[in-house]
Amino acid sequence: MTVYVALLRAVNVGGTGTLTMKDLRALCTGLGFENVRTYIQSGNVVFESKLSAAALQKKLETALSEKTGPQAGVLIRTAAELSAALEANPFPRAMPARVAVVFLDKPAPSNLLSGLVIPGREEVKVVGREIFVHYPDGIGRSKLKLPPLATQGTARNLNTVGKLVVLAET
């Protein structure tokens, strides 16, 4: 069995795609996922399965679209991949709550950040399938507009990623 983490996009954010974590756990259990547990009310679920990440993503996206509508997206990482993303943080001195990780399906193109206008003190780095953004003044004050590709992913701050890594190891 492999331990996976599913990061849901557009679930319980801004009033769209409302789904309680209790319902999400029940949905995942009903799909045959094992040892299902969630973390905070923003679409983070840890579970075990023998299926591949691609098969799990398709299965979960289909079930979610039937339940909440087609806007819900799913990004899947193994526990090891999530841990590696946490370790790859290019901003180790930054406060974890001020570093967001945008998880993508595929590695970002090498030119993703060319032409990116950074209006403040933000820093942006791409590492594989993740975009790391340091918001030294807080994400709520930032006027940074990430490239359109980033909207196809889903973001979590480093505190949440760290908690998911711990949850995936237990």
Residue 110 has pLDDT above 60, yes or no: yes
Residue 136 backbone zone (phi > 0: left; psi -120 to 50: alpha; other: beta): alpha
Span 15-39, pLDDT tens digits: 555 778 888 999 999 999 999 999 9
In this structure, is the dihedral angle defined by the CA atoms of residues 52, 55, 25 and 69, taken in order, positive or negative? positive
Beta strands in the chain (DSSP E): 2-9, 34-38, 44-49, 73-78, 99-103, 123-127, 130-134, 154-157
Q: How far apart are CA 89 and CA 73, in angstroms?
A: 24
> pTM of the entire structure?
0.91
Span 144-154, pLDDT tens digits: 998 888 888 99
Alpha carbon 58 to its chain's center: 16
Q: How far apart are CA 154 and CA 57, in angstroms?
A: 14
- CA–CA–CA angle 72, 97, 135 (5° rounding): 90
* The two structure tokens encoding residue 68: 């909440």
Residues 129, 108 contacting (CB under 8 angstroms): yes
Domains of the chain: 2-80 (3.30.70.1280), 84-169 (3.30.70)
Residues 10, 72 contacting (CB under 8 angstroms): yes
On average, the pLDDT of the chain sits at: 90
- Region 124-142 average pLDDT: 94
